[in-house]
Amino acid sequence: MTKHNTHRAAGRARNGATRYAYKGLGGAAMLGTVVVGSAFAAQSATAAPIAEAPAAPTTNAAAPVEISTAHSSEISTLLSSTSTLYQGKKGDRVEALQTLLNAEGANLEVDGKFGPRTNDAVLDYQSENGLQVDGRVGPETRGSLSGGVSTSSAKAESSSDSSDSEKSSSKSSSRSGESIVDAARQYIGVDYDWAGSSPSGFDCSGLTQYVYAQFGIDLPHSSSKQASGGDRISQSEAQPGDLVVWPGHIGIYAGNGKVVDAGSSKGSVSERSIWGNPSFVTYR
């Protein structure tokens, strides 16, 4: 990806130190000098001017700004407490982002405005660090910039997404199961017909095969094979639409202790209370 370097500028070297302008999260501008390994030091407004060495040759990259450990933690924590940042956003969290980008070599004004230059700096950082290059500062970019502080936030968002997915899957399964039961109920009253597998007449496995086929589930015309083809579950785990299995007989669980089945004893498809001690099978 082509680098956007409009946000980077040359630094000035003096006696092994880097001279910089920094604007704190509170908005006050400070001019100071940072020696490698030191914290920020404010320069007195009344101090005598200090002679500077001749300007270094112009380059395309600014020297990274050193941030004290305590201040870095404060900034990183602030950044990690936000949702995704992107161009157009404003505020303290954007100031934190700009400060951390400057620590990586950008040369941004820390003004709390996520404008084109901040966007270019984000794009460059993402490209240089193997992240998705989209200009959006989400969990991965926040975590990378803040040295892992955003990890818990990323995990929380991931956990939330996973939880939402599981809930959605559960709701979808429930709706499908109820739809299976509703489809089976349409054939209540249809005559029992040994080996029958159509609305003109059903046997037990013919009914389950016909109904399940409407939902893309291909079952063999055999109660024993249908029972062995799914997953055995307990009655407490059973949901409407699962199969209720007796030796030589099978039906569709309707919930609340009921089953829809084509039984020879009843002579037709009916919905009735479950009897005995059947097993339960699911194709979910």
In a domain, 221, yes or no: yes
In a domain, 87, yes or no: yes
Same-domain pairing of 182 and 260 = yes
> CA-to-CA distance for 155 and 152, rounded, in angstroms?
5
Nearest to 60 by CA among 11, 101, 103, 96: 11
Give me the pLDDT at residue 71, please.
52
**Mean pLDDT within 72-93:** 70
Domain that holds residue 231: 174-282
Same-domain pairing of 191 and 142 = no
Same-domain pairing of 236 and 139 = no
- Residue 212 tokens, joined: 């399940």
Same-domain pairing of 111 and 38 = yes
Give me the pLDDT at residue 121, please.
94
Give me the pLDDT at residue 219, please.
96
> CA-to-CA distance for 101 and 118, rounded, in angstroms?
9
Mean of per-residue pLDDT scores for the chain = 75
In tens, the pLDDT along 237-247 reads 999 999 999 99
Q: What pTM does this model have?
A: 0.43
Give me the pLDDT at residue 175, please.
61
Q: What is the sign of the dihedral through the CA atoms of 69, 75, 77 and 80?
A: negative
In a domain, 160, yes or no: no
Same-domain pairing of 178 and 278 = yes
Among 114, 149, 184, the domain-final residue is 149
- Residue 150 tokens, joined: 């955003």
In a domain, 1, yes or no: no
Give me the pLDDT at residue 160, please.
46
Please answer whether residues 263 and 278 qualify as being in contact, where contact means their C-beta atoms are separated by less than 8 angstroms. no
Residue 54's pLDDT band (cuts 50, 70, 90)? low
- Residue 176 tokens, joined: 């499908």
In a domain, 41, yes or no: yes
Number of independent structural domains in the chain: 2
Please answer whether residues 189 and 268 qualify as being in contact, where contact means their C-beta atoms are separated by less than 8 angstroms. yes
In a domain, 21, yes or no: yes
> CA-to-CA distance for 163 and 159, rounded, in angstroms?
6
Please answer whether residues 45 and 82 qualify as being in contact, where contact means their C-beta atoms are separated by less than 8 angstroms. no
Give me the pLDDT at residue 284, please.
84
**Mean pLDDT within 196-221:** 96
Give me the pLDDT at residue 153, please.
41
- Percentage of residues in the chain with pLDDT exceeding 90? 44
Q: Can you point out the beta strands (E) in 58-195?
A: none
Among 132, 149, 166, the domain-final residue is 149
**Quick check: 80 pLDDT over 60?**
no
In a domain, 168, yes or no: no
- Residue 196 tokens, joined: 């029958």
Helices then strands, counting H and E runs in the chain, come out as: 7, 11
Could you tell me the CATH number of the domain that includes residue 20? Answer: 1.10.101.10
The DSSP output letter for 206 is H
Same-domain pairing of 137 and 181 = no
In a domain, 106, yes or no: yes
